[in-house]
Amino acid sequence: MENKKELRTWLDDFQLNHPLVIAGPCSAETEEQVLKIAHELKNSDVSIFRAGIWKPRTRPGGFEGVGEIGLKWLQKAKAETGLLMATEVATAAHVKLALEHDIDVLWIGARTTVNPFAVQEIADALQGTDKIVLLKNPVNPDLSLWIGGLERLYNANIKKLGVIHRGFSTYEKTKYRNNPEWQIAIDLQNRFPDLPLICDPSHITGRRDMIQEVSQQALDLNYDGLIIETHIDPDNAWSDAAQQVTPATLKQMFVNLRVRKISDDESEYNQKMAKLRLQIDEFDGKLLEILGNRMKVADKIGVLKKEKNVAILQNKRWNEILGKMILEGEEKGLSNEFVMQLFKAIHQESISHQEKVMKN
């Protein structure tokens, strides 16, 4: 599905002078709630109204959605506001009901994307549909799994495809609910440049006070749109209360967010950019040279450990290095998260080098 121009056609059909915006409550709770939020959003930059009808919960006992009755509320909201309607589907039965109620946009959630059987079942149910189908990234940071889901949908002759980046689960404690792992989404974008890419800052952050910040990061990375959970009374929402914003807050975000140009044709800009990129290239080359030399030292350490029958992994030493590097990184303006990821990768490569030495 490389470079298939039709994948972006549906986005162009909106004829927007700004990124696509999908907004609405995490869950459809009542008919009154759905209609009120939809009317609040209809005269804004929002093009598609979203609401969860079926809610996959981590543990039983939570609110799992109102079910089929909610689809009738979405139909009424569309008739009254003209907004397109979107909801999540997780089974072929959900697809059948959503299509019967003429829902315009169907998205497949992160928990479903991890299961190829489930994605295939949904793809079969959607075979040849002209509806817009959006695939969220899997909960775990697995690009191949994300691409596999896309291929299943594309092979079902679904042309109006797009992806939603909602972040990835991690055992490590970070400031995000789901770590963005921006590079994974960028890698997907580089492979499929004509595939619309939408950011879900609500699920990435889990906190309404961070949504604008992450939305701006997505726009800075040239994302095609945003999907933001919006509720008239967020604190009393039946699900994911902490990450929903009010329609008024959302509209103010539209004022504050800046859409970046892809490039600039001025010669002065291009000359300065060329010089800066040359500096980056030089530093990257030096980084690789330094890392290569570091691994040569790791090889020597491996030889010494093999001679003395010493274990490769030395946790005390590793923790000392990591703590020291995090402190030094802060002094150089580097985030703790970046330094941790960088040195974990270096440490793993060092271990791999020493393992090879041990085997020889």
Give residue 360's pLDDT: 83
Q: Is 199 helix (H, G, I), strand (E, B) or coil?
A: strand
- Domain of 297, CATH number, reads 1.20.59.10
Residues 214 and 344 in one domain: no
Residues 288 and 218 in one domain: no
pLDDT band, very low/low/confident/very high, at 3 (cuts 50, 70, 90)? very low
Residues 130 and 237 in one domain: yes
Residues 207 and 295 in one domain: no
Residues 121 and 231 in one domain: yes
**Residue 261 maps to a domain:** no
User: What are 103's two structure tokens?
Assistant: 């829902």
Give residue 8's pLDDT: 67
Residues 219 and 303 in one domain: no
How many angstroms separate the CA atoms of 191 and 2, rounded?
A: 7
Domain endpoint, select from 207, 236, 256: 256
Complete DSSP assignment for 257-326: --PPPS----HHHHHHHHHHHHHHHHHHHHHHHHHHHHHHHHHHHHHHHHHHT--S--HHHHHHHHHHHH
Residues 290-315: what's their mean pLDDT?
Answer: 93
Residues 98-121: what's their mean pLDDT?
Answer: 97
Q: Residue 201: enclosing H or E segment and its boundaries?
A: helix 201-205
Residues 308 and 245 in one domain: no
Find the domain containing 110 and state its range.
6-256
- Domain of 151, CATH number, reads 3.20.20.70
* 259-289: pLDDT as tens digits: 887 777 788 888 898 899 999 999 999 999 9
Residues 87 and 55 in one domain: yes
Residues 26-43: what's their mean pLDDT?
Answer: 97
How many angstroms separate the CA atoms of 250 and 32, rounded?
A: 20
How many angstroms separate the CA atoms of 3 and 180, rounded?
A: 25
Per the structure, the count of domains in the chain is 2
CA distances from 322 to 83, 174, 181, 337 (A): 51, 17, 20, 11
Residues 82 and 153 in one domain: yes
Residues 300 and 195 in one domain: no
Give residue 2's pLDDT: 47
* 184-220: pLDDT as tens digits: 999 999 999 999 999 999 999 999 999 999 999 999 9
Residues 117 and 217 in one domain: yes
